[in-house]
Amino acid sequence: MVNVIGLGYIGLPTALMMASHGIEVVGTDYNEGLVSSLNAGHITFKETGLVELFESAVSAGIRFSSEYQITDTYIVSVPTPYDKFSKKVDPCFVVAAIKSVLAVCPTGATIVIESTISPGTIDRYIRPVIENSGRRTGCDIQLVHAPERIIPGNMIYELLHNNRTIGADDVSVGERIRNLYSSFCQGEIVVTDIRTAEMTKVVENTFRAVNIAFANELAKICRHDNMDVYEIIRICNMHPRVNILQPGPGVGGHCISVDPWFLVGDYPSLAKVIDESMKTNDSMPDFVLQRIASIMDERGITNISRIGLYGLTYKENVDDCRESPTLQLIDSQKRHLAPVLKVYDPFVERDIVDNQYHNLDEFLNSIDFVVIMVKHDEIKKNMYKLKNKIVLDCHNICDIPGVYHL
C-alpha cells in the first residue's frame, strides 16, 4: 500500500492516478476539513479531467484519512515555501511530514519526496531528522526524490505522459520506485542520484523563469521605442534554435515564481542571471500599473474607479490564485495607497480581494477601461463584450482595433 502525504495540487492527482491504476492507496492530509470533503466526494480545486479521475480512484478503493498509515511506501507531497528574506527553501512542512512518517513506519520503509526542494535539502534537513530518530538512511529507511513535473491546467495528461526523474541512494531502490510510477506513467523514467534529481527540478523551473524574464525585458525595450514585441518574438521563434516565451503581466503560481529563488538563496554570488530574471518578472505588475497610468494620461481618464482587472488567477484556465500577478499588482497599489481597481475572474467564486465582482456584465457595466490580466479561454470567448471599452491586453489575445499592449 502507498500512503500519499499531502492532498493538494500534486498529491491528490498523484494519489488518484495510482489508485486508478491498481495500486492500493491511502491519501493522508493533516487538514481534517479537506479529508472530510474528499470522503464526501468533493474535490477542492478545479482541473481538467480531475472529477473523472476521482470517480475512478474512488471505485478502485482509494481512502482518505488524517492519520499516517503503517506501510512500506510513503510519497510526501507537501508545500515547500521559501523564506522571503533569505530566499532559501523553508523545509518545515517536509520535515514535519517526515517526522510523522517516522512515528509510524516500519523498518525498511521507503520515503519518496515529491515536493520541490532546493539541491542539498535532503542531505541538510531530511537525513539528519531520520538519523536523529535512531534509524539509518540506506538500510532502515530508504530515501527517494521523485520531483513532480505536471503543469496545472493539463495535469492529468502530463501525469500520464511526462518523462520523470527518480533520485535514490541505491539504484535498486530507484528501480523499485520507477516500477511503481510506471504503473501509470507512459513517459521515460530516469533513475539518478538524489542531489541530481533535486537540482534538475529546480533548474527546469529556473530555465522557464529566465526565458519568461527575457520576454518581459524585450517587452519593456519594445515599449520604450514603440516596437511590436509579439511580432518580433514570433519571427525570432521561426529560427530553428530560438524559442522565446511570451511576456505577461507578471509570473505567479507556486513554482516558477518561487523555485529559482532557492538557487539565488544558496548561491548568491553565482546566481546573477537568475537573480536579475526573478527581479524582472517581479517588476511586471508595476510595469502594468505604469502602462495604466500612461494610457489614462493619453485618454484623459481621471476616474480610477472606472478601471477593472479582468482575471485574478495566476494563469489561464485554473482557479489557483497563489502569487498571481493580479494580486501582486493590487499589493503594489495598496503600498502606494491607491484605491484598489475593480476585479473579476470567471474561475474565482470566493471573495478574495476588495472590489471583486462575481458577474461579468455587472463588472463590465461598472468600468470603461479593462486590463486583461489572464488569458482564460472564457475571457477570449467574451472578447466581443469589450468592444466599446478602452482595453490594455497584457497577453496579446484581443483582436479589437485600438487595443493597448504591454
- Residues near ligand SAJ (CB under 6 A): 116, 148-152, 204-205, 208, 212, 245-246, 248, 251-253, 255-256, 314-315
- 321 among known catalytic residues: no
Q: Distance between CA atoms of 52 and 58, rounded to whole angstroms? A: 10
Of these residues, 105, 185, 222, 255, which one is catalytic?
A: 255
Q: Which residue, 118 or 205, has its beta carbon nearer to ligand SAJ?
A: 205
The three grid cell numbers given for residue 310, joined into one nine-digit string: 479582468
Q: Report the SS3 class of residue 4.
A: strand
Contacts of residue 211, Cβ cutoff 8 Å, sequence gap at least 6: 243, 244, 245
Q: Which residue, 11 or 248, has its beta carbon nearer to ligand SAJ?
A: 248
Q: Give the DSSP letter of residue 386.
A: G
Q: What is the DSSP string of 330-398?
A: HHHHHHTTPPPPEEE-TT--S--STTEES-HHHHHHT-SEEEE----HHHHHTGGGGTTSEEEETTS--
Q: How far is the CB of 301 from ligand SAJ (least distance, A)?
A: 27
Q: Which residue, 1 or 151, has its beta carbon nearer to ligand SAJ?
A: 151
- 255 among known catalytic residues: yes
Q: Distance between CA atoms of 168 and 195, rounded to whole angstroms? A: 9
Between helices 194-224 and 272-299, what is the axis angle to 10°?
A: 30
Q: How far is the CB of 309 from ligand SAJ (least distance, A)?
A: 14
Q: Which residue, 314 or 363, has its beta carbon nearer to ligand SAJ?
A: 314
Helix, strand, coil in percent for the chain, rounding step 5? 45, 15, 45
Of these residues, 87, 201, 315, 342, which one is catalytic?
A: 201
Q: Which residue, 255 or 288, has its beta carbon nearer to ligand SAJ?
A: 255
Q: How far is the CB of 234 from ligand SAJ (least distance, A)?
A: 13
Q: How far is the CB of 365 from ligand SAJ (least distance, A)?
A: 28
Q: Which of 143, 152, 131, 127 is nearest to 49 (CA)?
A: 152
Q: Which residue, 77 or 142, has its beta carbon nearer to ligand SAJ?
A: 77
The three grid cell numbers given for residue 192, joined into one nine-digit string: 539518478
Q: What is the DSSP string of 211-273?
A: HHHHHHHHHHHHHHTT--HHHHHHHHTTSTT-------S---SSSTTTHHHHHHHH-TTT-HH
Q: How far is the CB of 147 from ligand SAJ (least distance, A)?
A: 8
Burial class, 203, CB count within 10 angstroms (exposed 0-12 / middle 13-18 / buried 19+): middle
Q: Distance between CA atoms of 118 and 232, rounded to whole angstroms? A: 35
The three grid cell numbers given for residue 139, joined into one nine-digit string: 538500510
Q: How far is the CB of 323 from ligand SAJ (least distance, A)?
A: 8
Q: Which residue, 71 or 216, has its beta carbon nearer to ligand SAJ?
A: 216
Please write down the HEC assignment for all residues of 137-158: ECCCEEEEECCCCCCCCCHHHH
Q: Which of 179, 142, 145 is nearest to 165 (CA)?
A: 145
Element (H, E) at 324: none
Other C-beta atoms closer than 10 Å to the C-beta of 103 total 9
Determine contact, residues 121/198, Cβ cutoff 8 Å. Answer: yes
Q: Which residue, 191 or 213, has its beta carbon nearer to ligand SAJ?
A: 213
Q: Which of 218, 160, 363 is nearest to 373 (CA)?
A: 363
List, by residue number, the catalytic residues: 201, 255
